[in-house]
Amino acid sequence: MTLTWEELVVDCEDFVAQGHWWADALGWEIVDEDDEGIELRNPTGAVPTLLFLNVPEAKTVKNRLHLDFVPDDQAAEVDRLVAMGATRVDVGQGEQSWVVLADPEGNEFCVLSAR
């Protein structure tokens, strides 16, 4: 048996705002947008895609799954994302080489140091 990772589904209060925010943040393409959700794809065509869907409940606790990103310039990327509406968050990480941010709906993600 073989499994292929197709997409990551992100629950949202406002999938339109979230989907467009992440498309801008990542530079990804919107490949499907309708009344039910927005799907983003890496412009290289690589999978998985990101699918943003509305749910009735708000986020209440720290994510159990989060995304990590490796930029060319960590400080510049953190500044860019914060200017776009991300916020720095403390999830108990202490002093680390990565920076924990949250998107406009509070979903945590990490910006790692350049490799």
Q: Which range marks the domain in which residue 97 is found? A: 66-115
Last residue of a domain, one of 57, 85, 100: 57
d(CA 104, CA 92): 20
Residue 31 has a pLDDT of 97
Same domain, 70 and 20: no
CATH number at residue 73: 3.10.180.10
Half-sphere exposure of 21 (CA within 13 A, CB side): 21
Number of domains forming the structure of the chain:
2
Per-residue pLDDT tens digits for 18-48: 999 999 999 999 999 999 999 999 999 999 9
Other CB atoms within 10 Å distance of the CB of residue 77 = 19
CATH number at residue 37: 3.30.720.120
Least Cα distance to 110 among 94, 92, 88 occurs for 88
The pTM for the full model equals 0.91
Cis peptide before 48 (omega within 30 of 0): yes
pLDDT less than 50: residues of the chain = none
